[in-house]
Amino acid sequence: MGASFHMSLPCLNVKTTKSFYVDNIGATLGRKDQNWVDINLFGNQLTFIKAEKFSFNSPNYVFEGKILPSFHFGVIVESKEWEQIYDRLKEQKLDLVTQATFLKDKAGEHMSFFIKDPNDYMLEFKSFKKQDAIFEK
């Protein structure tokens, strides 16, 4: 599998956002919840998270009991590469955030961690248990 792009963005209305990407753009729908939706945009994962009036002042959301940054982007890699990246960054004593497995034993199970870049952007590294499950419902 080549690297796929993942981006998480705020939205004012999940239903309207889903409709635009699926009905207008022709993207396909992935997992969804009342407050967020995954969109398969040409093999890349866009996650839109409901936010009221928003700004890029480090707002967060809670997913499976973990506090995660709403504004982030990242890359999806195979598990061996994910572990190598995680170990390399950890050895450098960089501040890694929220290393966890999400959706354990469910569709879309994945390992994830975040790291802040020099510009204060949060970068996420994800690895799915099943590589073909990125958009599995």
* 1: pLDDT strictly greater than 60: no
Distance of CA 46 to the CA centre of its chain: 7
CA dist., res. 21 & res. 25, Å (int): 5
Q: What is the pLDDT of residue 92?
A: 81
Taking the model in full, what pTM does it have? 0.66
Q: What is the pLDDT of residue 61?
A: 74
Residue 107 near residue 2 (C-beta atoms within 8 A): no
Q: What is the pLDDT of residue 110?
A: 93
**Average pLDDT estimate for 7-18:** 88
> What pairs with residue 31 in β-bridges?
none
> What pairs with residue 11 in β-bridges?
50
pLDDT tens column, 89-124: 888 887 787 788 989 999 999 999 988 876 667 888
Residue 97 near residue 115 (C-beta atoms within 8 A): yes
As given in the structure block, the two tokens for residue 119 are 């510009």
Q: What is the pLDDT of residue 80?
A: 93
Q: What is the pLDDT of residue 131?
A: 80
Q: What is the pLDDT of residue 55?
A: 66
> Which domains occur in the chain, in start order?
4-133 (3.10.180.10)
CA dist., res. 100 & res. 11, Å (int): 25
**Average pLDDT estimate for 22-33:** 89
